[in-house]
Structure 1
Amino acid sequence: MDWLKKIKDYKTFLQIERGLSKNSIENYVRDIHKLYNYNIEFKITRTPITIEKNDIQQFIYEIAKVVNPKTQARIISGLRSFFDYLIFEGYREDNPLDLIESPKLSRTLPDVLTDDEVTKLISHIDLSHPQGERNRAIIETIYGCGLRVSEVINLKLSDLFFEEGYIQVLGKGNKYRFVPIHSITIKFINFYIEHTRNHITPTKDDEDTLFLNRRGKKLTRQMIFIVLKDLAAKSNLNKNIGPHTLRHSFATYLLKEGVDLRAIQQLLGHESITTTEIYVHLDRSHLQKVVEKYHPRNR
């Protein structure tokens, strides 16, 4: 059975049945191609149906020489999902990764910015530059709404419900959610629309896209990373800063202010509460305040 044919079918399954985003699908498929290329390099004639545990173990042993444990764990997880799909479709009866353990990973906590540091970051935006107002609106939106970078670049004008105080966000798994938006963020978005976007001619298929580059096209994820890296350097912030840093900072600030973890989960669009719980590990000081306020002996 042809590897490439099965990989193509798997991509269709991830898109239609699981509703994953294009980026997520590419990440899954990239790791399966690593196994496929390994088989070609070492002249292994196993197919997706006949490959066995020992073959997978040897592949993992080789790839562990060049990747870190986190990447290794991701590859194992991706391959396990692929072979689960083959079982689901009736091509296999077993998963060759069932008895293969992922490396133990220590939980790494993301960098977080204080509100003053975010303000400092924004203060270094050159508002005289044609794209300065856009960049300020983007950062205010990510930080003020806790969005993923993919969510902010895919925002549309038709997703803005400012009178109701919400924006509609397309999150992971192509699932929509409504996120409250603060009046300050609304002000910066409206200012960008009126003074910058209205002077740009959108390209076909991007007429409804909110944030555009100077050629009228939707922004890329890489562009926002570059903008933030440049601002971090100008601000002398010795932290690893990217779009997700702003999202983490949003959630951490809410938690410190006593916002319920379930509410933060809904705002961030986390499918599982365990994903949101990482913010509890960032700063435990709020837990002491909770105990002091709500302890049964506190009368």
Structure 2
Amino acid sequence: MAVEFGFEQELVRALLIEQHPDLADLELRDVAGGWDNQQWRLGTELAVRMPRTERAPALLRTEQKWLPALAERLPLPTPTPVRVGEPSALFEHTWTITRWVEGEPADRAPITRADAADTLAGFLTALHRRAPADAPTSPTRGIPLAGLRDGFSSALHVVADDASADAARETWEKAVAAPAWHGPPTWLHGDLHPANVVTRGGALAGVIDFGDMCAGDPATDLSAAWILLPAGTARRFFETCTDVDEATIARARGWAVLRALHLISIGRNGRLGLPGGKPTWEPAGRAALARALAVD
């Protein structure tokens, strides 16, 4: 599927009639945003997600297989799959009906409450349990940072002319030099950034888009201390987390720098086929980078 591919409501309605007729009469409303998947709100409690990139069907299959069981122990709302759409003559890929998570994406309505540090720590403590041997893995998440040196060098170009470039490089090198994760691979969300969490009244209210969930080093997710939380709350977050040592915090800060640079790049360049690109992502990335480079 091409990146710019999109769907009309008529197709979604036809798929509901074909495979889930008991839900087909519910109100269907367009939802702005989305990256790999296009989304509609279905009634008041559900959403329909349909893949629109080449990698998206596999991401949906990951969510369909693993998220329902994991969600039972998570203390925040998640878009848990409740029905699966199978390939048919109408649409050749899988699609999903999920729980609707109420709130505004944090790239448009940032987290502002300091107690979100406790909320996020509780969520990740519940998520970061030992993953089974057949859990998915990722070539770009949950792995030693040394394997991402080329990606970091490329990403750093977006701030090459900024005063922050040297500090970003120094923080990254410290993270790469930190002792590696020697514990068992834990479950990871894998893609915690402002567009993948929702807020209400400045509080963290839900976590969405689990398509990149995988097993590996929890430092990948712990980077959210700087990517998501208000300035000055990272220390509170790590004090609330359990079993997090200084090496893990150093690696997490390196992940935060890398992810912030990616947000800046995506926000600056937009994305072909998605009107307006991601204009909220550059300021979110720059704010995250400033937090990651600040002295605690």
Higher strand proportion: 2
Q: Same fold (TM over 0.5)?
A: no
Higher helix proportion: 1
Q: Tell me which of the two structures has the higher relative contact order, counting C-alpha pairs closer than 8 angstroms and 6 or more residues apart.
A: 2
State the structure with more CA Rg.
1
